[in-house]
Structure 1
Amino acid sequence: MRHSCTLTALLMAGSPCLAQSGIDVYGIIDVGVRGTSDLGANNAPALPGHSTAVSSGVDQTSRWGAKGKETLGGGWAALLRLEGGINADTGASAKSDRLFDRLAWVGLESPYGTLAAGRQTNLLSDALIPVDPLGKRYASFNPNINVAGLSNTAFGTHALGRQYGPSGYADNFYRLDNTVKYTANAGPWQARAAWSFGEAPGDASASSSHGAALAYQRPDWVVSGATMQFRSREDLPLNAWTLGAAVRIAGWDFKANAARNKANTGADKTLRQRVLSAGVSREARPGLLVTTAWYSVRREATGFSGDGFNRGFLFLENTLAPRTTAYAEADYTVWRGDAAGLTASRPNGRHGSGLTLGLMHKF
């Protein structure tokens, strides 16, 4: 017992006992066998043909993290969150350059709201949580996450090709470094505001971002939206908004969302993107959830013809135990314009489809 207490004391470096500090380690491991037609690595358009692979994060993104809360008294508490993505099919980190690529922040909770500082999701992502038709499933292939939430906008001939805001990556601004975010709740209303510091010497605007989000939540319905502006290192703007609603009627959950963004990509050059989505889910029987969703993406860029795609999903999730879910997923994509692109001067397939059988465990 004495050795155990000594080890605990060393680990906490003089802090209260681990259990008293409220530190929890958590995670999700999601692995499936996925077969695709006319889709290549990372579900990119490919030459006609079939392939099979073991994939990670088709239902929910594989991840691990730690979260903590310590009561300070008077309705105040200190918070922390660290979270990193995992490629569970290989055991590698989702981002080789970051241990905690998803979240890394510390904050204060008070009777007046919560203030957090560090690497955090953007407000578009926050606004999509209750209204995305897939419930933010299949993050790497979900258009509301990729295009509306700006997680991965590089496909076809229309790529932003640079970093907007302090995300650390080109064409991916879903999570932002150096971010201060304030969240307040008043009855059914929830309001958020955020500022991300670009930290560019001599220019407070370059590589920064700012925005606001507002949601109205009732037991059987919710309306949620956000607006943001991101700036590039060259001080070029990217303006984005999202607005959606969800309603529950007699056991059926209906969700719909619309989102648009416009970026200045150079002198007299712009890229415009819009995403429309709708879906429905219902328990077919206790423990078996059926979710369908449809997405329409359209893009226009200076010097290129318009492109985009339509994509549909079907998810069947069977809860085996409180922390374990078996699932089947099917998707079908129709590329428009030049979105399918070329491989070695040969046109890729105009349609792509996938089928996944997987298992997800939470801890």
Structure 2
Amino acid sequence: MRHSCTFAALLVASGACPAQTDMNLYGIVDLGLRGTSGLGANNAPTASGHTEAVSSGINQTSRWGLRGREDLGGQWAALLRLEGGINADTGATAKSDRLFDRLAWVGLETPYGTLAAGRQTNLLSDALITVDPLAKRDASFNPNVNIAGLSNTAFGTHAFGRQYGPSGYADNFYRLDNTLKYTLNSGPWLARAAWSFGEVPGDGRAASSHGAALSYQQPDWVVSGAASQFRSRDNLPLDAWTLGAAWRLGGWQFKANTARNHADTGPRQTVRQRVLSAGVSRQAGRDLLVTTAWYRVRREASGWRDDGFDRAFLFIEKTLAPRTTAYVEADYTLWRGDAAGLTATLPNDRHGAGLTLGLMKKF
């Protein structure tokens, strides 16, 4: 025993003791029984009547991941994050071509900010965290995630139809490969800057992305915004920005946001999208939270009729335990112009409604 203590003391004195390391497995499994009218199981407009389904990720996206941090001393630390989406209703990965489709990065935490490299969310997404009226609930159907954050821009009769930035997917630029992101916290200010490399030989701008984000936060209110540019492989630009605010008054919390994006999709071809959103949350009881939100989306595209949609949500969440939440969700969508699209040759219903009874378990 004496020899082991002496050996440990020598390790400490020599600086050879291993640094403190934390590695955590975490995740969310969220499933709900969902009934819809005018919407399919994937929430796309449909010409048929009612649909019943077991749906994954209505409240929070089902996922799993690894989070690591190793203390390097002197307020420096090495960071690791791996995260993949799950379709909990089938057990499949959210993206069949990627195990960690949501996040895959390594970084350094320093007294001068944090620098991370790898697959990460874009800065528009980061800016929306505190000001989206739904707090990014129902991500696959939330217009701030899909249109303002550029997660799923294809709907109705038209889409961007190409990849902007190194996302790996057409019409989805919410997460970007090959990204360097710098984050600095300074008192109430939070600043971010990012560059995503397109890795196109001979052209450093093609398929790249860059931008900046800034937020100012006080105990009862926050203002948050970001601006980014994405470029296609043939150097067509997509410019986007978002700006929002949230404030708390007694037991009420109010949030509002506006966002715009403008893409060149070809010679004299453009797409413009606008999103306005507002919502309010109220702690209705010790363990009961009620959230309502409204979104207005409008789109203008060369050669197409102007379209868009209005969408309203209601969430009622009951906390059953620190990691378990039961909820009821209701939504209503009114499609405008040709946004509802066609199924075969039949026009889809211009109205869509959904009701979900769900359970979310975190680990």
Q: Which residue is 1:342 aligned to?
A: 342
Mapped pair 1:80 → 2:83: no
| Equivalences for residues 261-300 of structure 1 within 5 A | 261-300=261-300
Once the two structures are superposed, the pairs formed by residues 126-141 of structure 1 within 5 Å of their partners are: 126-141=126-141
Matches within 5 A, 1:69-218: 69-218=69-218
* Letter paired with 2:229: Q
How far off is 1:41 after superposition?
Answer: 3.4
Partner Cα distance (2:194, 2:264) in 1: 22
Unpaired stretches in structure 1, ≥5 consecutive residues:
1-14
Residue 162 of structure 1, CA deviation: 0.3
Q: Secondary structure at 1:201's aligned position in 2?
A: coil
SS in 2 for 1:41: coil
Query: How far did 1:158 drift?
Result: 2.3
Does the 8 Å contact 2:315/2:327 carry over to 1?
yes
Please say if 1:331 is aligned against 2:360: no
C-alpha change, 1:287 and 1:178, in structure 2 (3 Å) is same
Question: Whole-Å Cα distance in 2 between the matches of residues 16 and 80 of structure 1?
Answer: 21
- 1:20 offset after TM fit, Å? 4.4
- What is the SS of the residue equivalent to 1:124? helix
Q: Looking at CA atoms only, which structure, 1 or 2, has the larger radius of gyration? A: 2
How far apart, CA to CA, are the structure 2 residues paired with 1:222 and 1:66? 29
* Contact 2:209-2:231 within 8 A present in 1 as well: yes
Letter in 1 for 2:273: Q
Using the size of structure 2 for normalisation, the TM-score is 0.95
Once structures 1 and 2 are overlaid, which stretch shifts more, 44-53 or 311-320? 44-53
Matches of 1:16 and 1:87, distance apart in 2:
42
**Structure 1 residue 48 displacement after superposition:** 3.8
Q: What root-mean-square deviation, in Å, do the aligned CA atoms of Structure 1 and Structure 2 show?
A: 1.2
Q: 8 Å contact 2:247–2:254 — kept in the other structure?
A: yes
CA contact (8 A) 2:41 2:53 kept: no
2:84–2:93 CA contact under 8 A, matched in 1: yes
- Gapped runs of 5+ residues in structure 2? 1-15
Give the % identical residues: 78
AA aligned to 1:296 is R
1:42 positional shift: 1.4
What is the CA distance between 1:157 and its match in structure 2? 1.7
Against the structure 1 CA distance between its residues 201 and 24, is the aligned structure 2 distance closer, same or farther, given a 3 Å change threshold? same
Cα displacement (A) at 1:16:
8.9
Quote the Cα distance in structure 2 between the aligned partners of 1:41 and 1:149.
23
Matched position secondary structure for 2:361? strand
Q: How big is each residue's C-alpha offset from its partner over 1:62-93, in whole Å with a ceiling of 9 and x where there is no partner?
A: 00000010110111000000000000000000
Inter-partner Cα distance in structure 2 for 1:116 and 1:193: 11
Aligned counterparts of 1:170 and 1:319: Cα–Cα separation in 2: 38
Aligned-partner Cα distance in 2 for 1:267–1:326? 50
Q: Does the aligned pair in 1 maintain the 2:72–2:78 contact within 8 Å?
A: yes
